[in-house]
Amino acid sequence: MAQNFDVVVVGAGPGGYVAAIRSAQLGQKTAIIEREYMGGVCLNVGCIPSKALITAGHFLHRMEHQAPEMGFQVKNVTHNMAQTQKWKQSVCDRMAGGVEQLLKGNGVTIIRGEASFKTATEVTVKTKAGNEAVTAKNFVLATGSRPIEIPGFQFDEKAVLSSTGALALNEVPKSMVIVGGGYIGLEIGGMYSNLGSKVTVVEANKSLLMGLADSECVQVVQRRLKKAGIEFVFEAKAKSWKKVGNGVEVTVEVAGKEQKIAADKVIVTVGRKPNSDQANLKGLGLQIDERGFVKVNAQRRTSIANIFAIGDVACQPMLAHKASYEGVMVAEVIAGHNRVYDAKTVPSVIFVDPEIAAAGWTEEEAKANGHADLKIGKFPFAANGRAVSLMETDGFVKIIADAKTHVVLGVHIVGPEASNLISEAALAIEMGARLEDIALTIHPHPTLGETMMEAAEATLGHAIHIIQKPLAGKTGAAGAARANA
């Protein structure tokens, strides 16, 4: 006999479990189906474990390169990667366990197994005990994504690793080749470089993070990574690899010529693809676009009215926090609330060294969206007391605003704690804040957050802690307000 529900969520990642919890809160009889990880890729083999290992890499880097300058003599430092992995797993297990408790605490029925759609109102779930039938008035697809393989580099998670395999190594490779200079590759590469690995990045484009971050921010990161000893091979195509002894030899093509790179491991990080080829979605008749995303409208409703899709399987950007936002929204739509996806910005963070974070438009995007006249200002971390005391002075905060209205259109940060600082920018953009709103807000001292205020002042033309050329006798509204005060 089938189990019957009002809402069934397929996939317990950061979109799925949030959708299930919110549905239950709204009085819907709710179930969630998960075949592998409670918390999904993010909490188990993606966001959380990678940030844990990146933190470990920073600890070692600071001990070796910054502690001596502060007066600490750190000698004979050893590193046990297996112990680091054990600690990392404890972080993941704690987070995943928390998700399960939240689901149970909100009355969500957890079904462990793999779902396959039989009809638009019924799925068959393959469990350890056998097949189970589950029916629902509404389904939410939150099946996520997986790493993309490229020809000749199929993952065996021994010599050729995906991001999943790269985050599970119990020994730090002496050397590695990373195919792909996007955010995943650079986060992993930077982490292993800090832990002592010799890293070579093979990138098809002319620079790193193409189309993923402000170009000036990327330049800061590229210089820092190069200084750390990471090598880059640009405009290169990975052709093949072969096993040589205990390592690998990767053949890349650069300007029509082949080049050989020897390493212990090769990690392929060229992006992720949506899991729309699973759960019999095509057999169900759902419309799927040429990139593999399930087609959805502004409410994340698919071509079948009672089925919704959120997160990586639905559309870009493929970010956990976007999926969570959609999870809440879809649950409320199903419950009868009048909601659509109307976020002005989805902030992004790249956990390289230094971090990059952004909210809103780049200069090019702002102009393409009708803002021909812009105000753009920057404030460097080198002029911030807290950054100096942290020995983290590379980078800046850049603000892009409409020249006439002073409405903030985009904020781009490269530097220490950019991942934490960007939330203020996201709130400002969501609220339609003007430069004056940020510049006239008192920020505590000494903090990194002051850089946001000072960047707003710089964009208005009257920064205090950097020297700027005067703006033809104009002080700007914030400056005038302070003068009058």
52, 88 Cβ separation under 8 angstroms: yes
Do residue 172 and residue 250 come from a single domain? yes
Following DSSP, what letter does each residue of 262-304 receive, concatenated? EESEEEE-S-EEE-TTSTTHHHHT--B-TTSPBP--TT-B-SS
Flag whether 349 is in a domain. Answer: no
Does residue 67 sit within a domain? yes
* Domain membership flag for residue 438: yes
The bridge status of strand 175-179 relative to strand 198-202 is parallel
Q: Is the pLDDT of residue 123 over 90?
A: yes
- The residue from 65, 445, 462, 465 that is catalytic is 445
Tokens of 56: 């470990």
- Same domain? 419 vs 473: yes
**Confidence class of residue 211 from pLDDT cuts 50, 70 and 90?**
very high
Give the rounded percent of residues in the chain with a pLDDT score beyond 70.
Answer: 97
Average pLDDT rounded to a whole number, residues 132-150: 98
Residue 128 lies in a domain: yes
Distance in angstroms (rounded) separating the CA atoms of residues 282 and 285 = 5
What pLDDT does residue 471 have? Answer: 58
Of residues 124 and 476, more confidence is placed in 124
- pLDDT tens digits for range 383-424: 999 999 999 999 999 999 999 999 999 999 999 999 999 999
Give me the pLDDT at residue 270, please. 97
Which band of pLDDT confidence, cut at 50, 70 and 90, is reported for residue 70? very high
Instruction: Assign 484 a pLDDT band (cuts: 50, 70, 90).
Output: very low
* Distance between CA atoms of residues 453 and 431, nearest Å: 16
At 133 the pLDDT is 98
Is 99 in the same domain as 28?
yes
Asked if the model's pLDDT at residue 480 lies above 50, the reply is no
Answer whether 469's CB lies under 8 Å from 397's CB: no
Give pLDDT tens digits for 325-368: 999 999 999 999 999 999 999 999 999 999 999 999 999 999 99
Claim to verify: residue 264 and residue 292 sit in the same structural domain: no
Q: Is residue 380 in a domain? A: yes
Whether 479 has a pLDDT exceeding 50, the answer reads no
Which pLDDT score, from 0 to 100, does residue 76 have?
A: 87
DSSP letter assigned to residue 288: B
Q: Are 58 and 141 contacting, i.e. CB atoms less than 8 angstroms apart? A: no
Total domains in the fold of the chain: 3
Q: Is the pLDDT of residue 481 over 70?
A: no
Asked if residue 108 and residue 177 are part of one domain, the reply reads: no
Q: Is residue 348 part of a domain?
A: no
Instruction: Report residue 321's pLDDT band, with 50, 70 and 90 as the boundaries.
Output: very high
Asked whether residue 140 falls in the same domain as residue 281, the answer is yes
**Nearest to 435, CA basis, from 476, 467, 484, 466:** 476
pLDDT tens profile 4-50:
999 999 999 999 999 999 999 999 999 999 999 999 999 999 999 99
- Give the residue from 228, 249, 270 where a domain finishes: 270
Average pLDDT over residues 251-256: 96
Mention every residue, 6+ apart, whose C-beta is less than 8 A from residue 360: 344, 345, 400, 408, 409, 410, 411, 425, 429
| 476 has a pLDDT exceeding 60 | no
pLDDT of residue 425: 98
The DSSP bridge pattern shows strands 160-161 and 307-309 to be unpaired
Segments forming the whole domain that contains residue 11: 3-147+273-334
Whether 260 and 398 map to the same domain: the answer is no
Do 95 and 233 belong together in one domain? no
Mean pLDDT of the chain: 95
What's the confidence (pLDDT) of residue 240? Answer: 97
Length of the chain: 485
Same domain for 110 and 228: no
Angle in degrees, CA 311, 312, 315, rounded to 5: 85
Residue 473 has pLDDT above 70, yes or no: no
The Cβ-side half-sphere exposure at 71, using a 13 Å CA radius, reads 0
pLDDT at 75: 86
Q: What is the CATH number of the domain that holds 409?
A: 3.30.390.30
Q: Count of CB atoms within 10 A of residue 119's CB?
A: 9
Are residues 424 and 410 both part of a single domain? Answer: yes
- What confidence score (pLDDT) does residue 197 get? 98
Task: Tell me: pLDDT of 153 over 80.
Answer: yes
Beta bridge partners of 126: 114, 131
Q: What is the CATH number of the domain that holds 217?
A: 3.50.50.60
372: confidence class by pLDDT, cuts 50, 70, 90: very high
CA 306 to chain centre: 30
Query: 366 and 257, same structural domain?
Result: no
Within its chain, how far is the Cα of 115 from the centroid?
A: 27
Same domain, 314 and 385: no
Token pair 């703006």 in the structure block, residue: 471
The pLDDT, as a whole number, for residue 475 is 42
Helices and strands in the chain, H and E counts = 16, 22
Residue at 191 is within a domain: yes
**443 is known as an active-site residue:** no
Examine the pLDDT at 478 and tell me if it is beyond 70.
no
Per the domain annotation, does 416 fall within a domain?
Answer: yes
Check if the beta carbon of residue 250 is closer than 8 Å to that of residue 260.
Answer: yes
**Res 477 pLDDT > 70:** no
